[in-house]
Amino acid sequence: MEERFKGIGASPGIGIGKVVLLERKEPRFVYEFLLKESEVKKEVERFKKAVDEVKKEFKQLIKNLKKTPFKEVKQIIETYISILSDPLLFKTTIHCIKEEKVNAEWALAKSLEGIEKIFGEIEDDYLKQRVQDVHYVVNRILTKLQSRQEISRQVPAQSVIVAYDLSPPEMTRFLSGEVVGFVSETGGRTSHTAIVAQALKLPAVLGAKEISQKVKVGELIIVDGLSGEVIVNPLSDTLKKYQEKQKKYKEYCQEIEHFAFLPAQTLDGYTLKVMANVELFEEIPSILNAGAEGIGLFRTEFFYLQQKELPDEETLYEYYAKVVKAMAPYPVTFRTLDLGGDKLSSALEFTPALNPALGLRAIRFCLKQKDIFRTQLRALLRASAHGQIRILLPLISGLEEIKETKEFLEKLKAELKVSGYPVASHIPLGIMVEVPSAVTLIEFLAKEVDFLSIGTNDLIQYTLAIDRGNEQVAYLYEPLHPAVLRMIYTIVETARKLRLPVSVCGEVAGDPIYTPILVGMGINEISLNAQNIALIKKTIRSISFQEVRELVKELINMGSVKEIKQCYLNIVQNWFKETLEDILTERISLVYEGKT
C-alpha cells in the first residue's frame, strides 16, 4: 500500500530506489548503579576506550577522503573529533560516572541532555542545528559501548538510505554511485546532513517522523527533495508521475547551470550582486564554482565554536587573511561575533538567561566583553591589508552601539598603525537590520554606516513576536506579512535616498519565490547558500525591474497576508510558468498554503 511521509526538503532532486535501512530509532539503554569503586574505574576506562575507537574511526575517514573533492565533509569530521574531547561531553561524562556511580551510557546521555539544553536556547537556526553533530558523535560512542552491528558499506544499486539519524561520515560511506537519495527523521535545511547531501548532489528529505520505524528493507521509495515528500510503495500512477518529474528536474538543472556565471541583471537592465553565505574557509572553492560574486555574510562565530579555547589575535588574523586572499578580487563581509548568552562553548562562560534571544548576545556581548571584541576587530583590521573586507555588526538596536563601535575601531586602527601593521585606508562598516527598533531609527543609523544588510530571519521573528522553533506558532512565521514588507520597503527607501547599498542575507534571499519582491524593493545585493545561485540569477534575468517595482508599490498598500498572497503569488506563478516551469510552481502552492 502506498504510504506518504512529510519532512523537510533539504537537498533538491528526485530519487527513486530501494530502501536500505541504517537505524530504526534512537539507541536505548538502561540505568545501572555501580556498587563498587572498581566498577566505576572500569566504566570510566570503557568510556575512554569507546571514545578512542570513535576518534580512530574519524581519523581513518579523513584519510580516506583525502583524494575526494568533498572538503566540506573532511571539515565536518574534524569538528566531530573536537566534539569528542570537548569538556562538556568528555569530562562531564567521566565526572558523572565517578560522582553518580552510573554506567557510561547513562552518564553520556546525561551530558547530552545538558548540551541539548544549551543549544535549545540558541536563536540562530544554523547554530541550533549544530546539536545534530553532537547527537551523531554521542551515537557513535554508544555504538562502540554497546557493540552494535553496523551496516556494510556495500549497498545495492539504486539505494535510498533511510535512518533515524544520518550523519556526514555515514553518507560518505556511499560515494560509489549506488545511492540515489537520503531520508532521516532528524535534521533540517541547515544541518550538516543537508549540506553534505547538497555537495553530493543527491536528494534528501530530513525530519520525516517515524519513517525509520515503518519502512522495510527493499521496499520501493521515492524521495522528493523539492517538496519534502517521501512515498513508500508508490502506486503505478504515482511512480510514473515522479519518473517524469525526475527527468524534468535533471533537464532543468542542466538548463540553468550556465546562469551561475551570467550577470544577475533584469530584462530592463537593473543589476544586483549575488553573493554567498559562508561559515567556513573550506566552502570557498564551492561557492566560487557556483558563481558567487563575493561573500555577503561570513559567520565568524562558527570558527570560535570549533576552538577549545578563545582564539588569539594571530590565529584569527591568519584565518581571516586566508579567507580574504582566497576570495580576491571579490569582497568578504565579516559579521562580527554573533554569540553570547547561549554559553555555546566551554571557552565562553555566562550566566544562563531566561530569554537568550533578548539577552546578552551579538553586538551587546561584544561591547560588554571588549577584550574578545578587541581581539577580533584587530584581526579583521590586519586582514584588510590582503583584500576587500567589510565589517558587519549584528543585532544593532540603537545609535549608541554604532558610535561606540566606531570609536573603538578608530582607536584600534591607531594602535595598529603605531605598531607598524598595515590597514586598508577605508573598510566599509555596515549593520544588520534585524530588530524593529533599527527599522524605526533607520534614518539615523544609516547615516553612520556604509551599507545595510537585512537579516530577514530575525527581523520577521522579532517583528511578529514568533519563536520559529515553537511548533505551536511556527505557522505565523510569514515573510509576506504586510508589516515585514513595509519594514523592508522603509529600509531600502531610506538607503536609496542616502545612496547606501542594501543587501538581504536571510533565508528569503535564497528562495526564488521571493526574488521578484526583493528586486522590486530595490535591493542591491543578495547573499544566499551557494547551491541556489544559478536559480536566483535565472529568476532575476527573467523579470522586469519596472514590473516588479510597480507590483511592490501595490503590495505595500495591502493590509493582510491573504490579500498579498493572492495578488503576489498569482502573478509570480504566471511568470514562473513561462520561465521556471512546474518545478517552482509546486513550491509556490506550498508557500500559498503556508506549508513551508
Distance, in Å, from the CA atom of 221 to the CA atom of 224, rounded to the nearest integer, reads 10
Question: Residue 342 has what pLDDT?
Answer: 45
Q: How confident is the model at residue 341 (pLDDT cuts 50, 70, 90)?
A: very low
Min mean pLDDT across 302-311, 488-497, 516-525 is at: 302-311
Residue 505 known to be catalytic: yes
Say how far apart CA 315 and CA 318 lie, in whole Å.
5
Q: How does pLDDT run across 189-223, given as a tens digit for each residue?
A: 667 777 778 767 789 999 898 898 889 888 999 99
DSSP annotation of 268 reads: T
* pLDDT tens profile 29-42: 666 777 788 888 88
Which of 13-17, 358-362, 426-430 is predicted least confidently? Answer: 358-362
Greater pLDDT, 253 or 579: 253
Given a cut of 60, whether residue 73 has pLDDT beyond it is yes
Top-confidence residue, 337 or 131 = 337
The pLDDT tens digits of the residues spanning 584-595 come to 555 555 555 555
What does the pLDDT read at residue 553? 95
pTM above 0.75, yes or no: no
Q: So what's the pLDDT on residue 581?
A: 52
Please pick, among 96, 135, 366, 505, the residue that the annotation labels catalytic. 505
Taking CA atoms, 47 is separated from 95, 100, 293, 519, in Å, by: 12, 15, 48, 55
Q: Look at 161-170, 172-181, 465-474, 476-485 and tell me which has the smallest mean pLDDT.
A: 465-474
| Contact assessment for residue 492 and residue 522, using Cβ atoms and an 8 Å cutoff | yes
- Alpha carbons 234 and 236: distance in angstroms, whole number: 6
pLDDT bin (cut points 50, 70, 90) of residue 319 is: very high
Q: What's the confidence (pLDDT) of residue 439? A: 97
Q: Which three cell numbers stand for residue 248?
A: 524534468
Choose from 23-27, 375-379, 538-542, 589-593 the range with maximum mean pLDDT.
375-379
Task: Report, as an integer, the average pLDDT of 143-172.
Answer: 75
Q: Are 294 and 275 in contact (CB under 8 A)?
A: yes
Query: How far is it, in rounded angstroms, from Cα 349 to Cα 341?
Result: 9
Residue 150: per-residue pLDDT: 55
Strands (E), 505-549: 525-528
Structure confidence at residue 366 (pLDDT):
93
Q: Do 346 and 86 meet the contact criterion of CB atoms below 8 Å apart? A: yes
DSSP assignments along 122-152, one per residue: ---HHHHTTHHHHHHHHHHHHHHHHT-----
481 part of the active site: no
Q: Using the 8-state DSSP alphabet, how is residue 102 labeled?
A: B
pLDDT at 164: 85
The answer to whether residue 376 scores a pLDDT higher than 50 is yes
Which of the four pLDDT bands, split at 50, 70 and 90, describes residue 289?
A: confident
Which of 249-253, 296-300, 409-413 is least confident?
249-253
- Average pLDDT of every residue of the chain: 85
> Among 117-121, 355-359, 403-407, 569-573, which is the least confidently predicted range?
355-359
> What integer is the mean pLDDT of 553-573?
91
pLDDT at 275: 96
- Burial classification of residue 222, based on how many CB atoms lie within 10 Å of its CB (0-12 exposed, 13-18 middle, 19 or more buried): buried
| pLDDT at 118 > cutoff 80 | no
Distance CA 514, CA 257 (A): 20
Q: Which of 220-229, 247-256, 301-310, 507-516 has the highest mean pLDDT?
A: 220-229
User: Choosing from 96, 135, 192, 366, which is the catalytic residue?
Assistant: 192
CB-facing half-sphere around the CA of 236: CA atoms within 13 A: 0
How is residue 33 annotated by DSSP?
Answer: B
What pLDDT was estimated at residue 87?
87
Average pLDDT over residues 131-136: 81
Residue 351 has pLDDT above 70, yes or no: no
As a whole number of angstroms, the distance between CA 77 and CA 80 comes to 5
pLDDT value of position 23: 66
